[in-house]
Amino acid sequence: MFNAKYKLLKAFWILANIVILASATLSNGKLGEFEEYQKFTNESLLWAPYRSNCYFGMRPRYVRDSPLVLGIMWFNSLSQDGLHSLRHFATPQDKLQKYGWEVYDPRIGGKEVFIDEKNNLNLTIYFVKSKNGENWSVRVQGQPLDPKKPSTASVVLYFNQNGGEIDGKSSVAMIDREGPNDLRFLGYSEELGEYHLTVKDNYGHYFNNPAYETMEVAPGSDCSKTSHLSLQIPDNEVWKARDVFQSLVSDSIRDILEKEKTKQRPADLIPSVLTIRNLYNFNPGNFHYVQKTFDLSRKEGFEFDITYNKLETTQSISTKEQITELITWSLNEINARFDKHFSFTKGPDSIENVEIKRRFALEALSNLLGGIGYFHGKQLVDRETEFDESQFTEIKLLNAKEEGPFELFTSVPSRGFFPRGFYWDEGFHLLQIMEYDFDLAFEILASWFEMIEDDSGWIAREIILGDEARSKVPQEFQVQNPNIANPPTLLLAFSEMLSRAIEQIDDFGSGSYKQEMFNGRTSKFMTNNLEENSDLLAEYAKKIYPKLLKHYSWFKESQAGLIDEYAEILEDEGIWDKIHKNEVYKWVGRTFTHCLPSGMDDYPRAQPPDIAELNVDALAWVGVMTRSMKQIAHVLKLTEDEERYAQIEQNVIENLDRLHWSEKDNCYCDISIDPEDDDVREFVCHEGYISLLPFALKLIPKDSPKLEKVVALMSDPRKIFSEYGLLSLSRQDEYFGKDENYWRGPIWMNINYLCLDAMRYYYPDVILEMAGDDGTAKKLYQSLKTNLSNNVYRVWKEQGYCYENYSPVDGHGTGAEHFTGWTALIVNILGRY
Ligand SMILES: *[C@@H]1O[C@H](CO)[C@@H](O)[C@H](O)[C@H]1NC(C)=O
Ligand SMILES: *[C@@H]1O[C@H](CO)[C@@H](O)[C@H](O)[C@H]1NC(C)=O
Ligand SMILES: *[C@@H]1O[C@H](CO)[C@@H](O)[C@H](O)[C@H]1NC(C)=O
Ligand SMILES: CC(=O)N[C@H]1CO[C@H](CO)[C@@H](O)[C@@H]1O
């Protein structure tokens, strides 16, 4: 409880700090404090591996023009075709046995592990920062998986100081080489200032065969010491570091082969042949490769540190002991923070089981946080292509133009498959992140809200900024279109944040409460009083209100459905007068088989599609948006607006019942005009996630008799209940498991989570292990919670990762692997529910 309040206060703080700059009404003293807080946020989140798509790739946050961009690659250079297995971008094709963060927090650091059998390498990368976040170290530590297998770990570090092309001043150059292997660079950029970057070995043996006089097979090609190449590469090509490396080394190989046509080259010299050298006599530039080739026939492996220190800092990270200390401190600190927010009770589990479940949960959360990236660049938008809404065929977006640059601070669904911002996923990510670090969740939310277009109110469904991000996206998904919507989950998350804040304002409006809360907290950012903060919350809401209103109106207008088509039918049914004509919606852009905008692509819809179709989930999402607007109006004390939204919310709720509830099917359904008889309202009923959405989004009145029916449906093992979670589509549905089988049975964490959350809302008793009768709801809640956790955990143990979804047949992981986007909501379920 104390933690919850503490977090709320932090929420006020962050809301407040965003507002403060715009607010002239505050005294200078306060301004100083708030700036200090903002400085803290900026500093603690400045450096992290924000290149989500890389196994390990860094760039600083909100450094737009002259970031230092860095990445790490590796391969086995004792293998002739080793270059093919050069690891760089996280991709399932690499078939690593395991990769990801065991412990991670972008404010602090973490530990990432790679098990790469093809390269015979067990690699650990530690990332740590100084306490103020300005200087940092990366420790690269590797061991052979099997020392009896001859192999090397050829590790390639690359980095570039961007901006030099434009300002001529940003640069990074080698200034010192201590012995053959320890390198020191001096860098400068307008935004970063001056810094040192050092690369220093701790232990390890370079590949060497003492039988040879030298390992150097050509001038500069020598694997027995660190290779370094500096050259100029345009900023926007830096992300192609792997391709450039491969082609430079391939050219070098060709050159070597030509010159030594007759000589028989022993296998031991291959690692030298596969090192980078300056074949073309490039002039040094801002781009650097540093390659180290370690012999993996020794069990102890190797270790080296990459350290960045700002120059004006008086102290710097200088020794390996300091780094070791920082690593220990960071890992302990993250573990402690984690335990502050989540608890793992013993229950029927043994102690070991509890401990390993906790480890699993920490890893899942770490990988969600480890996906957080900072993206900067242009996006492709097609504003010309018109949608012929009677066609229902796939519309090609061929009139794309680049817009921007924009920037986005976001987490991603999966580093290997989807390393970019997804509107539909992000709200779910925030529901998890806010339980660990409310401020961080808010930073992400605020960044997304910045993307709301001022004129139109639109936000793209996927935010793909720049070439690097685009390189991972199939062409047909690269271009965004301002007619296309997606479930507004960000407002779901915002609504959750506001609910807690409003609870605070309403319950603890008086100043006397604050003392108690601040006692024992030493943070200097915890000194403000709550009254002031709630005013400031209002200020932030005031600032964002016009933008959100635009977004809200855009959604309502662009996805508005046609109600007049139903006039006669509903008159005959005698309910026409009771329908709220303005609150009917459909997803624009569906095809015969798919409704991508709904987020549940192939979930069955009306067949054939009809222009008059109305989608129950689209209406439910408008309900969520409206509730969120209502809450903001409440915070702003805009009583009239609040009442207006309350009315719209009520209308949505009534329409859900009057238009979309099928008495015959006991279920919420899409509706359409019966293709055989256009005097009849057709209920398009497919029991599954879409029919559950009004429940999952808490839009059914608490006293509605329909609740019971929804619970019965969720509890029915012949339909959607399973040993592994709720199925997306009922086993009895004619489309169950058919065709693409994406949202036609597989179990998804996001909707399961909403359902559990809704059960806690409708039936507060379900969480009490002892009290009350063992009603259906309680049984459902307890068994669903257990089944979900057990299965995701079991799959992680067996398959090594979290998955995009899970098989309704045996629960195994399906869809994208290493999917710690919304699947990471399992952490809340395990540690909080
Ligand atoms: C923090 O970063 C944001 C985003 O770049 C910037 O607008 C703001 O001025 C910074 N604030 C401080 C105090 O550094
Ligand atoms: C990888 O190395 C770490 C650290 O030495 C060790 O704990 C772990 O068991 C190793 N993993 C494998 C699969 O060998
Ligand atoms: C799923 O829940 C049911 C009902 O509570 C229970 O009998 C079963 O053991 C659970 N299965 C798993 C895999 O946890
Ligand atoms: C190890 C460490 O924390 N090093 C320093 C990083 O830089 C700041 C100053 O900006 C120092 O205070 C830290 O001690």
Peptide bond into 405 cis (omega under 30): yes
CA separation for the pair 341, 327 (Å, rounded): 22
Q: What residues contact 100, with CB distance under 8 A and at least 6 apart? A: 112, 113, 363, 366, 367, 370, 801, 818, 820
Q: What would the 3-class secondary structure string for 194-214 be?
A: EEEEEEEEEECCECCCCCCCC
Q: Read off the DSSP letter of residue 553.
A: H
**Angle value at C-alpha 413, between 408 and 418, nearest 5 degrees:** 80
Q: Read off the DSSP letter of residue 343.
A: -
pLDDT value of position 8: 46
Query: C-alpha dihedral over 251, 254, 259, 260, to 10 degrees?
Result: 140
For the segment 159-170, the average pLDDT, to the nearest whole number, is: 94
Token pair for residue 51? 């290149």
Token pair for residue 775? 């009603």
CA separation for the pair 668, 671 (Å, rounded): 9
For the segment 652-669, the average pLDDT, to the nearest whole number, is: 97
CA of 443 to the centre of ligand 1 (A): 11
**How many C-beta neighbours within 10 Å does residue 550 have?**
17
Question: Is residue 282 domain-resident?
Answer: yes
Secondary structure class of 134 (helix, strand, coil): coil
Measured from the CA of 98, which atom of ligand 2 is nearest?
13
Residue 532 pLDDT greater than 80, yes or no: no
CA of 527 to the centre of ligand 1 (A): 21
CA of 122 to the centre of ligand 2 (A): 6
Q: Whose CA is nearest to atom 8 of ligand 2?
A: 122
Ligand closest in space to the Cα of 779: 3
- Split at pLDDT 50, 70, 90, the class of 262 is low
Residue 605 pLDDT greater than 80, yes or no: yes
Q: Which among 405, 437, 411 is positioned nearest to 423, based on CA atoms?
A: 411
CA separation for the pair 130, 315 (Å, rounded): 10
Reported as half-sphere exposure (CB side, CA atoms, 13 A), residue 539 has a value of: 21
Secondary structure class of 99 (helix, strand, coil): strand
Regarding predicted confidence, which is higher, 318 or 368? 368
**How many C-beta neighbours within 10 Å does residue 49 have?**
28
Amino acid at 130: S
Torsions phi, psi of 212, nearest 5?
-95, 150
Q: Please tell me whether residues 639 and 731 are part of one structural domain.
A: no
- Split at pLDDT 50, 70, 90, the class of 225 is very high
How buried is 428 (Cβ within 10 angstroms: 0-12 exposed, 13-18 middle, 19+ buried)?
buried
Regarding predicted confidence, which is higher, 387 or 781? 781
Q: Whose CA is nearest to atom 12 of ligand 3?
A: 787
Ligand closest in space to the Cα of 44: 1
Q: Whose CA is nearest to atom 13 of ligand 1?
A: 39
- Split at pLDDT 50, 70, 90, the class of 428 is very high
Q: Read off the DSSP letter of residue 395.
A: P
Q: Which of 17, 59, 61, 62, when mutated, tests ligand 1's pocket best, judged by the most ligand atoms within 8 Å of its CB?
A: 62
For the segment 128-134, the average pLDDT, to the nearest whole number, is: 87
Residue 78 pLDDT greater than 70, yes or no: yes
Place of tokens 């549905």: 733
DSSP H or E run through 129: strand 121-129
Per-residue pLDDT tens digits for 26-68: 444 455 556 666 788 899 999 999 999 999 999 999 999 999 9
Q: Which residues in 728-740 are b (16+ Cβ under 10 Å) and which e?
A: bbbbebebbeeee
Q: Please tell me whether residues 736 and 799 are part of one structural domain.
A: yes
How buried is 312 (Cβ within 10 angstroms: 0-12 exposed, 13-18 middle, 19+ buried)?
exposed
CA separation for the pair 431, 832 (Å, rounded): 12
Measured from the CA of 21, which atom of ligand 1 is nearest?
9
Q: What is the CATH number of the domain that holds 76?
A: 2.70.98.110
Single residue among 631, 657, 685 that ends a domain in this structure:
685
Domain that holds residue 364: 342-369+700-806+820-833
CA of 368 to the centre of ligand 3 (A): 27
Q: Please tell me whether residues 286 and 355 are part of one structural domain.
A: no
pLDDT value of position 318: 79
Secondary structure class of 759 (helix, strand, coil): helix
Q: Please tell me whether residues 314 and 357 are part of one structural domain.
A: no
CA of 129 to the centre of ligand 4 (A): 9
CA of 349 to the centre of ligand 3 (A): 14
The total of structural domains in the chain comes to 3
Question: Is residue 812 domain-resident?
Answer: no
Place of tokens 């709904």: 598
Pinpoint the alpha helices (H) of 196-265. 241-259
Give yes or no for residue 141 CB within 6 A of ligand 2.
no
Q: Please tell me whether residues 355 and 323 are part of one structural domain.
A: no
Per-residue pLDDT tens digits for 574-599: 999 999 999 999 999 999 999 999 99
Q: Read off the DSSP letter of residue 49.
A: B
Single pTM value for the model: 0.93
Are the beta carbons of 321 and 307 closer than 8 angstroms? Answer: no
DSSP H or E run through 114: strand 109-116
Per-residue pLDDT tens digits for 533-567: 555 556 667 788 999 999 999 999 999 999 999 99
Torsions phi, psi of 682, nearest 5?
-100, 125
How buried is 263 (Cβ within 10 angstroms: 0-12 exposed, 13-18 middle, 19+ buried)?
exposed
Place of tokens 């993996």: 296
Single residue among 659, 685, 711 that ends a domain in this structure:
685
Q: Which of 131, 138, 318, 325, when mutated, tests ligand 4's pocket best, judged by the most ligand atoms within 8 Å of its CB?
A: 131
Q: Which protein residues are within 6 Å of ligand 3, measured from CB?
A: 723, 783, 786-787, 790
Mean pLDDT of the chain: 89
Residue 708 pLDDT greater than 80, yes or no: yes
Minimum mean pLDDT among 8-12, 174-178, 281-285, 664-668: which range?
A: 8-12
Q: What residues contact 638, with CB distance under 8 A and at least 6 apart? A: none
CA separation for the pair 335, 251 (Å, rounded): 47
Q: Which of 316, 322, 327, when mutated, tests ligand 4's pocket best, judged by the most ligand atoms within 8 Å of its CB?
A: 316
DSSP H or E run through 157: strand 152-161
Residue 368 pLDDT greater than 90, yes or no: yes
Measured from the CA of 122, which atom of ligand 2 is nearest?
1
Question: Is residue 546 domain-resident?
Answer: no
CA separation for the pair 120, 370 (Å, rounded): 25
pLDDT value of position 439: 82
Q: Whose CA is nearest to atom 5 of ligand 2?
A: 143
pLDDT value of position 495: 85
Residue 461 pLDDT greater than 60, yes or no: yes
Q: Which residues in 474-484 are b (16+ Cβ under 10 Å) and which e?
A: eeeebbbbbbb
Question: Is residue 134 domain-resident?
Answer: yes
Q: Which of 774, 780, 783, when mutated, tests ligand 3's pocket best, judged by the most ligand atoms within 8 Å of its CB?
A: 783
pLDDT value of position 529: 28
Q: Whose CA is nearest to atom 11 of ligand 2?
A: 122
Regarding predicted confidence, which is higher, 540 or 304? 304
Per-residue pLDDT tens digits for 309-335: 998 765 577 799 999 999 999 999 999
pLDDT value of position 1: 39
Q: Whose CA is nearest to atom 7 of ligand 3?
A: 783
Q: Please tell me whether residues 323 and 347 are part of one structural domain.
A: no
Distances in whole angstroms, Cα of residue 735 to Cα of each of 180, 715, 729, 742: 65, 20, 8, 11
Token pair for residue 833? 């529910």
For the segment 244-267, the average pLDDT, to the nearest whole number, is: 88
How buried is 375 (Cβ within 10 angstroms: 0-12 exposed, 13-18 middle, 19+ buried)?
buried
Measured from the CA of 113, which atom of ligand 2 is nearest?
1
pLDDT value of position 520: 30
Ligand closest in space to the Cα of 407: 1
Residue 158 pLDDT greater than 60, yes or no: yes
**How many C-beta neighbours within 10 Å does residue 680 have?**
14
Which string of DSSP letters, residue by residue, matches 671-737? EEE-SS-TTSEEEE--TBHHHHHHHHTT-S-TT-THHHHHHHHHH-TTTT--TTS--SB-TTSTTTT
Question: Is residue 529 domain-resident?
Answer: no
Q: Whose CA is nearest to atom 9 of ligand 4?
A: 313
Give yes or no for residue 113 CB within 6 A of ligand 2.
no
Q: Which residues in 335-359 are b (16+ Cβ under 10 Å) and which e?
A: eeebeebbebeeeeeeeeeeebbbe
Q: Read off the DSSP letter of residue 284.
A: P
Ligand closest in space to the Cα of 314: 4
Residue 466 pLDDT greater than 60, yes or no: yes
pLDDT value of position 517: 32
Q: Please tell me whether residues 170 and 293 are part of one structural domain.
A: yes
pLDDT value of position 624: 96
Q: Please tell me whether residues 670 and 795 are part of one structural domain.
A: no
Per-residue pLDDT tens digits for 772-788: 556 789 999 999 999 99
Single residue among 685, 712, 745 that ends a domain in this structure:
685
Query: C-alpha dihedral over 337, 342, 347, 353, to 10 degrees?
Result: -50
CA of 18 to the centre of ligand 1 (A): 9
Ligand closest in space to the Cα of 300: 2
pLDDT value of position 678: 84
Regarding predicted confidence, which is higher, 17 or 480? 480
Minimum mean pLDDT among 24-28, 358-362, 518-522, 569-573: which range?
A: 518-522
Measured from the CA of 129, which atom of ligand 4 is nearest?
3
Per-residue pLDDT tens digits for 473-527: 998 889 999 999 999 999 999 888 777 777 766 665 433 333 333 333 233 333 2
Q: Which among 10, 46, 109, 45 is positioned nearest to 332, based on CA atoms?
A: 109
Q: Whose CA is nearest to atom 1 of ligand 1?
A: 42
Q: Which protein residues are within 6 Å of ligand 4, measured from CB?
A: 130-132, 134-135, 313, 315-317, 322
Amino acid at 511: G
For the segment 375-403, the average pLDDT, to the nearest whole number, is: 89
**Is-catalytic flag, 804?**
yes
Measured from the CA of 782, which atom of ligand 3 is nearest?
5
Q: Please tell me whether residues 661 and 715 are part of one structural domain.
A: no
Measured from the CA of 36, which atom of ligand 1 is nearest?
13
CA of 363 to the centre of ligand 3 (A): 24
Catalytic residue selected from 255, 601, 641, 817: 601
Q: Which among 289, 304, 303, 299 is positioned nearest to 151, based on CA atoms?
A: 299
- Split at pLDDT 50, 70, 90, the class of 752 is very high
First to last CA, the chain: 14
Torsional class of 206: left (φ above 0), alpha (ψ -120 to 50), beta (otherwise): beta
Q: Which among 183, 683, 693, 662 is positioned nearest to 489, based on CA atoms?
A: 693
Q: Read off the DSSP letter of residue 55.
A: S
Q: Please tell me whether residues 680 and 714 are part of one structural domain.
A: no
Distance of CA 592 to the CA centre of its chain: 30
Q: Which of 42, 315, 321, when mutated, tests ligand 4's pocket best, judged by the most ligand atoms within 8 Å of its CB?
A: 315
Going edge to edge, which strands form the sheet with 68-75? 57-58, 68-75, 152-161, 287-295, 227-231
Give yes or no for residue 173 CB within 6 A of ligand 2.
no
Q: Please tell me whether residues 112 and 211 are part of one structural domain.
A: yes
Q: Please tell me whether residues 643 and 737 are part of one structural domain.
A: no
Are the beta carbons of 238 and 244 closer than 8 angstroms? Answer: no
Distances in whole angstroms, Cα of residue 770 to Cα of each of 86, 755, 765, 767, 779: 56, 21, 9, 9, 12
Are the beta carbons of 106 and 47 closer than 8 angstroms? Answer: no
pLDDT value of position 814: 97
Measured from the CA of 43, which atom of ligand 1 is nearest?
14
CA separation for the pair 177, 186 (Å, rounded): 12
Place of tokens 């390996």: 320
CA of 314 to the centre of ligand 4 (A): 7
**How many C-beta neighbours within 10 Å does residue 168 have?**
8
Question: Is residue 414 domain-resident?
Answer: no
Ligand closest in space to the Cα of 145: 2
